[in-house]
Amino acid sequence: MTNQHEVATFAGGCFWCMVTPFDQWDGVISVVSGYTGGKTVNPTYPEVKTGTTGHYEAVQITYDPSKISYQRILELYWQQIDPTDADGQYTDRGSQYRAAIFYHTDKQQQLAEASKKALADSNRFQKEIVTSILPAAIFYPAEDYHQDFYKKSTEKYKSERLKSGRDAFIEQHWK
């Protein structure tokens, strides 16, 4: 029996903080930080950071669906973001930090839309769920120094994550 790997792509603010929630799960093959959804070909971090390229900072997850489902990955995703914030995530502001689910198949689109509706219907949040669900676009891996940043620069990663307010938000809304 051969395993087929699938791909999921998500934007949720700074991509450094979007790697660790997925990287630890059995069945996740890789989590790559990068850029997607914009108009600039082969964008660089300094270009994306300006907010003028149209790209989102995002992660692309390659996974084994026989070990972890797309539905489970969606559940993990929602628990990492503020789905009511249309202008960025936490202290990261601007179009490059917006939250979005980029679907690669019709089934991913259906599951993403159903999960968004379920979250809205749960009344967990008082404001509207505004996270976009968009067709996948070309994904450009970020520069090497961004890959696995939490492993390469542990102290800086921890400091930036703490300052961002992400963990406090997650604790308040998901724990």
Q: Catalytic residues, which ones? A: 14
Contact 154, 161 (CB under 8 A): no
Contact 99, 129 (CB under 8 A): no
Contact 70, 6 (CB under 8 A): yes
Distance, CA of 161 to CA of 18 (rounded, Å): 10
In the block, residue with structure tokens 């938000």: 169
